[in-house]
Every structure is written in structure tokens, then in C-alpha cells.
Structure 1
Amino acid sequence: MDFVDVVDSGGVRTLTLNEPKRRNALSLEMRVELRDAVRAAMDDARCRVVVLTGAGGFFCAGGDISSMSADPAAGEYRLRVLSELAEALAGGPKPVVAAVEGGAFGAGLSLVALADHVVAADDARFCASFGTIGLGTDGGLSWSLPRRIGRGRATEMIMFGEVMEAAQAQRIGLVERLTAPGTALEAAQHRAALLAARSRDALAANKAALSGAHADLTALLATEKEAQLTLLAGPDFAEGRAAFFEKRKAVFPA
């Protein structure tokens, strides 16, 4: 794999998003590789727990804006891959532990919210940054985030798109464990090893029960996809994308 590193150790499989020069932005190629790696982990008897992290001191900056376009076919495929990745993370039988350094923005936050356990550096930041470029949520965030932090707080995070510090993220339940900067992966792998020593069947049963009606996520993903395809073809995203590359604040039409 070119964009996802896979390392096994004692039943713990660590998947590392590996394009640090771009803060591990989720290009189509990375989405495909990560989806396939998560699916393989969920099906592999040697793997008992999955750890998801990012290289270079940053978890994930979100979707790769440079590869987004208004083309419906391209957008549909890109979002379908992300939906399949979300379903593999949430619906697979193995626990997923996220190790967050630096930050998790946009679709990166979606990945974090889908994890069963989140360990973050105490200087990490979190942001549902979709609205700043004129897009809605994807990756199941409007399903997973309210389940983690409650509807009111999830609505605030998604609608306002404000950056949240790690301490607040822990207080509201987005993060379970805080650790010193540079040690999130080590701490997450330690937590994952504790899970790997537990009953595989019990973990799978508990995850299935805690995730609730998985069909609801499937329906939500379809709703998100249709809305996102419309937004990708609209003027607000065109302005948001231009503003991103011009390093200015987007000015959306009234």
C-alpha cells in the first residue's frame, strides 16, 4: 500500500494514514486503501483489535479538497468508498481504537467518531470543518457524533465548525483518554493490547450491541451522500474550494 501502513503486533493491527506532507488528507487512493485495510483486518483471525492513526504528528486533515469536483460520477464513487469505509469501521466485529496527534478535521473527525475508543494527545484539536467550504457532513458523522456526545453538542460542532481543544473533547465524551503529545499511538496500542486479551466473541457481541441499529447508519450514509453530491455541484463549494486554495475566508452568496 502507498498511503496506509499496516503493522501487526500481538493481535493488534495498526493502520497508519501515511501522507504526512499533506497532513494525511483523505485522497481517493487513501480512502480505497484504508477501506480495504479495515475490511481485511475485520476478516483476519490474526487481528483482534484495530488501531487507527496518522503519520507525521497529525491524524487527518479531512477530505482532499484538491481532488473534489462537481462531477457527479466522480463524487458518487468517492463518497461511496468513504461510506464503505465507515460501515467497515462501525459494523465490523473488531474494536477500533483511534490514536490522535495534532488534529482530526472534517472527514478525519468522522473517522475518530466511528472509533470505539479514542486516545488523543492533550494538544490535539478537533473540528467538523465541512461548512467552512460549503459542504455537509460525510463519513457518517451526523450518525456517529450525536451518539458520542449528544445531539445538542453534535449540532453545535457541525453547524458552527469551531475548533475544539482536546480537554473539552474529553469532557464531552468525544475522547476517552488524553496523553502527552507524541505518545498517543503508544497509549492507544497499550489500550488495544488490553482489549486483545479479552474474549473475541464477547468483544464482537458488545460492539454490535453498543452500535445499535446498523441499518440506521446505512440509511444515514445514503442521505449524506445525496446531499453532498448536490453541494459539490453548487456555488458554495466552488467558493469554499477557491477560498481554501487562496488562503482566505470563504464568502458565501446571500
Structure 2
Amino acid sequence: MAPELLDVSRDGSVLTITLNEPRRRNPLSLAMREELLALLEQVAADDGVRAVVLTGAGTIFCAGGDIASMSDDRAAGSHRLRVFNQVMEALVGLPKAVVAAVEGGAFGAGLSLMAACDHVVAAEDAVLRSSFGGIGLGTDGGLSWTLPRRVGYGRAAEIVMFGDPLDAVEARRIGLVERVVPAGTALAEAQARAALLAARSRPALAANKATLNTGGSLHDVLEAEKHHQLDLMAGADFAEGRAAFAERRPPEFRA
């Protein structure tokens, strides 16, 4: 069944996923979370997709959770959070690069979604905010894990605990986003960046992403790097890369 709250388009090996409920500022309702999870599972298995762009329709990337549907029903809340956790694990674990295109802003769970992407392009007038505390909630969607990894503990604590809005320029300065572009151009820039990634070695990108997201000690990371590197050295893309280096030409990765 085709998703109803997501718009999906493809240009070559770049897939663009658009949160598509602009009238409500693209809230992460349970239905949208379920559609996104199913789609990410399909994308993970599709070798024809080499990079993903995630964006929101209309004037804002994502306003956060669907507050109107929340209640003190613990079972319902547990289910909603469990699905969101699965979305985040699928997004971070996706063996392809994910580029976020942020227009307008990302708030609460929308910020969590953005921070879980590998590369973020934000419009210069975008506003980012951890708005959970303003309605008496804590973070979810893995923000307590992704945010310190992006900006460090002190800045992450300030962003979460005070809940002050950040403009795109400041977000770029502290490492929360990677690129700031003129308003209205975030999607085009994100798609261009994704196309560059799609031209690179898919197995190598998947290995790099997995290694960067490896937790634990230095030893754990070194072991993960060794594991992936040995597999890559036996693969077709390394053979092509080595040949291209010797022949002084750009590599053509096809794996």
C-alpha cells in the first residue's frame, strides 16, 4: 500500500521522502511514523537506492509530535514511542547516507528526526528548537544520543534544558547542521549533495556510517573498522578504486 502521509520520488539512485501533511506542519503522528518505518525498511533492501533525502512539505520541515493525539494513556504512549524508536533505529542503521533538507524549522521530535540524519542542509531562515520541556516532556526519538554526538554534551544540555530557539547560522557554527543555504533552496541543495554521495562506493559509505555510529570504547571502534575494512578490501569497489588510482582517472563504483 502506498503511503498516504509521505510523498516519495526518485531521481536515479537518489530517493526523496517528503513528510506530507503541510496543513498541520507535518507532525509525526502515529500513522506517519508507521508509514516512515515501513518505507525505510523497503529502502534498506533496495540496492538501486544509494542515497536518501528527507524533507517536509510546505513551509516547515516538521513541527514535532502530534500533540493533539497525545494523552496519559500509557499503553498508547508506549506504542507510539516504540514505533518512533524503530524509525530512529532504521534511519541511523540505514546502510545509505541520509541528507535532511530543512526549510522553516524543526521542533521537538522533528529536531530528533533531523539530528538522526547523516548530513543536514538548512535554509538560512530555519529555526531549530528542542521544544519538549515547554510542554512538560523529556526528549524522545534518540535526541539525547544524537545531539551530544553532534554538538557535545554542554551545548546539547543547553539546547534541551533551556529550549531556546536556534537560528540556522548558529546551528551551523556549533555543528548541528552542516550547510546553510538561501531560503527555498534547501531541497535542491540536499538533492545535489545526495547525488554526490550516490556516486561514491555504496559498500564503503555503508561501512563508514556503521563505524561512525559504533558505540563503546576505542577498542570496539577499532574492531568495527577492521571488520568492515577487510570486507571492503575483498570487494569490487576497492578493485575499481585501486585501478582508477593507478590509471589516474575517476573511479566508477557499481557495487
Check whether TM > 0.5: yes
Partners of 1:97 and 1:116 within 8 A in 2? yes
- Runs of 4+ in structure 1 displaced over 3 angstroms? none
Is residue 125 of structure 1 aligned with residue 127 of structure 2? yes
Question: Aligned to 1:182, what secondary structure does the other structure show?
Answer: coil
Is residue 157 of structure 1 aligned with residue 123 of structure 2? no
Paired residues for 1:63-212 under 5 Å: 63-212=65-214
Distance 1:67 1:43 in 2: 32
Partners of 1:99 and 1:184 within 8 A in 2? yes
Aligned residue pairs total 214
Partners of 1:15 and 1:37 within 8 A in 2? no
Distance 1:43 1:127 in 2: 33
Paired residues for 1:211-226 under 5 Å: 211-213=213-215
Rg (Cα) greater in structure: 2
Distance 1:42 1:148 in 2: 24
Q: Percent identity?
A: 64
Match of 1:226 in 2: none
Match of 1:51 in 2: 53
Q: Which runs of 5+ in 2 are unaligned?
A: 217-255
- What amino acid sits opposite 1:182 in the alignment? G
Match of 2:7 in 1: 5
TM-score (norm 2): 0.83
Residue 213 of structure 1: how far off its partner (Å): 2.3
- What amino acid sits opposite 2:158 in the alignment? E
- What amino acid sits opposite 1:183 in the alignment? T
Distance 1:39 1:149 in 2: 29
Q: Which runs of 5+ in 1 are unaligned?
A: 215-254
Question: Aligned to 1:57, what secondary structure does the other structure show?
Answer: coil
Distance 1:206 1:32 in 2: 28
Match of 1:246 in 2: none
Distance 2:31 2:37 in 1: 10
Distance 1:46 1:57 in 2: 30
Distance 1:201 1:194 in 2: 15
The structure whose RCO (Cα within 8 Å, separation 6+) is larger is 1
Residue 92 of structure 1: how far off its partner (Å): 1.5
Distance 2:132 2:41 in 1: 26
Distance 2:198 2:28 in 1: 28
Distance 1:123 1:100 in 2: 10
